[in-house]
Amino acid sequence: MTETTEFELVSPARLLMSEPVEMVVVPGVEGDFGVLPRHAPMLSTVRPGVIDVYKGGQVEQRLFIAGGFAEVTEERCTILAEEAFPLTEVSADDARARLDAAREDLEEAETDMAKGRAAQAVVVAEALSRAVGG
């Protein structure tokens, strides 16, 4: 039996995942990082991207995350995400539609704050279409 770490992915609406895994690769703001059992404790902001969940020596599941936070301790890795779903649930068309909609919103945004939010949505949509396409 290989050593495992407890991986939890939580969104405000529900607990998406909670199971022991061998490794997770998380897209941190300062670069992707892999979390293995007995990782040093850390807190990190997560940028929009893909989380790879490793089990049995290979990628078992790929999840898209629209940004959030990761808390890593020696025995677990908790990720708080505002939005997250398995990559298999979206098609390339969905991603493109979302990107177009987000770009449109950005053009229509008037106030600075609305612009900031729309720009963020575009970044998320871009990350998603990259994840789906490549």
Partner 1 sequence: MASLKDLRNRISSVKSTRKITSAMKMVAASRLRKAQEAAENSRPFAERMDRMLGTLAGSVVGTPGAPRLLAGTGDDRRHLIVVVSSNRGLCGGLNSATARNTRALIRELQADGKEVALLCVGRKGRDALKRDHASLISDTLEDFGRHVITYAEAEVVAQRVLDMFEAGDFDVCTLVYNRFRSAISQIVTRQQLIPFPVPETANENQPLDATGDAAQRALYEFEPSEEGILDDLLPLNVKTQVFRAMTENYASEQGARMTAMDNASRNASDMIDDLTLQYNRTRQAMITKELIEIISGAEAL
Question: Which residues are near partner 1 by CB under 8 A?
Answer: 8, 10-15, 28-30, 40-45, 68-69, 71, 78, 80, 82, 113, 117
45 vs 91, which CB is nearer to partner 1? Answer: 45
1 vs 15, which CB is nearer to partner 1? Answer: 15
Q: How far is the CB of 24 from partner 1 (least distance, A)?
A: 15
4 vs 78, which CB is nearer to partner 1? Answer: 78
CA 79 to CA 11: how far, in whole Å?
A: 8
Q: How far is the CB of 57 from partner 1 (least distance, A)?
A: 27
